Amino acid sequence: METDPTGDEGTITWREVLAETEHRVMVAGLPAQEAHWIVEEASGSGPGGSLDGPVTVRGRAHHDAMVGRRLAGEPLQYILGRWAFRGLDLMVDPRVLIPRPETEVVAGLALAEVDRVAAGRTDSPVQVADLGTGSGAIGLSIAVERIGTRVWCTDVSTGALAVARANCAGLGRPARRVTLAEGSWFEALPTELKFSLDVVVANPPYVDRAGDLPVEVVAWEPAEALFAERDGRADLEALVDGAPTWLAPGGALVLEMSPDQVGDLADRARGVGFDEAEIHLDLAGRDRAVVARLAQ
């Protein structure tokens, strides 16, 4: 338990604060679990740690500030400043999209492509690019989960890339196999990589500006991470059209998108020269991703 030179409230434990906070968040229509996350953060107990210690003045102030921000509508992930993605504990702030569970599935699809390419390879690393990396969620997961990879993480947003860089620095050894680069889609990459990437993966902005997203998303998450022109398809189309110039023979493009976009984008991939284009589901059973492969 943290000791606090400014004193403590003595008789109050974090368990009592938790009960009070659970009540407040539930009255606001939020899940009671959110109170646990906030109290664990303020108390420093960590998940499942003891909440029987006394509440310090400083801990209480931190807790109250977090609850105030949450009740004002800010996403819990920005308040905590981090969020879990696959095995990673990623720093997140309003410069980046909060990593989503459906994107964990997309990262898994990219890993399957890495494994397919690696199976036919003995020496050189599998070259991967995560375009529009945001927090680094997809690309850093690949670097950590597969040691035989060389990973490029790019973003057009300087702020997002700063977050990805901080997350990369926290990886330790796998960070040596990661390169961060700023720029729009393939323009961020050195031209020497043309026709040599094995897997290109992206969760680009794909939301139609005219569509309705939850207010919590629109009000707090970066617009440049969410919205794309032409009914949300402009960035997806640019990635499909550009990928054949950057992928090696047998390489794959893995794209996250919305259920109403998958059919057209899979057709477009076949139209620009991909040998096959498969549609994959998210955890809720909706069409969420396209995996397109070039012939060997």
Q: Which is nearer to ligand SAM, 64 or 224 (CB)?
A: 224
CB 244 within 8 Å of CB 100: no
Q: What is the number of the residue whose Cβ is closest to ligand GLN? A: 206
Q: Of the listed pieces 62-70, 108-116, 141-149, 204-212, which binds ligand GLN according to CB under 6 A?
A: 204-212
What residue 8 binds from ligand GLN, ligand SAM, none (CB within 5 to 8 A, per partner kind)? none
Q: Is 226 in the site for ligand GLN (CB under 6 A)?
A: yes
Positions touching ligand SAM (CB under 6 A) are 96-97, 99, 103, 131-135, 137-138, 154-157, 160, 184-185, 203-205, 224-225, 235
Residue 160 binding partner per list ligand GLN, ligand SAM, none, with a CB distance cut-off of 5 to 8 Å that depends on partner kind = ligand SAM
Task: Name the token pair of 13.
Answer: 């434990």
Among 207, 255, 269, 294, binds ligand GLN (CB under 6 A): 207
Report whether 285 contacts 102 (CB < 8 A): no
CB of 61 to ligand SAM, least distance (A): 31
- CB < 8 Å & 24+ apart, contacts of 29-35: 30/70, 34/70, 34/76
Q: How many residues does the chain have?
A: 296
Instruction: Say which entry of ligand GLN, ligand SAM, none residue 156 contacts (CB below 5 to 8 A, set by partner kind).
Output: ligand SAM
**Using rule CB under 6 A, residue 138 touches ligand GLN:** no
- The answer to the question of residue 58 lying near ligand GLN (CB under 6 A) is no
Minimum CB–partner distance for residue 205 and ligand GLN (Å):
5
Between 127 and 141, name the residue whose CB sits nearer to ligand SAM. 141
Distance of closest approach, residue 31 Cβ to ligand SAM, in angstroms: 22
Subset of 94-113 contacting ligand GLN (CB under 6 A): 100
Among 51-59, 110-118, 186-194, 203-211, the segment contacting ligand GLN (CB under 6 A):
203-211
Q: What is the closest distance, in whole angstroms, from the C-beta atom of residue 138 to ligand SAM in the complex?
A: 5
CA–CA distance, 175 with 170 (Å, rounded to integer): 8
Q: Which does 198 bind (CB under 5 to 8 A by kind): ligand GLN, ligand SAM, none?
A: none
Which does residue 207 touch among ligand GLN, ligand SAM, none (CB within 5 to 8 A, set by kind)?
ligand GLN
Residues that bind ligand GLN (CB under 6 A): 100, 203, 205-207, 213, 217, 226, 256
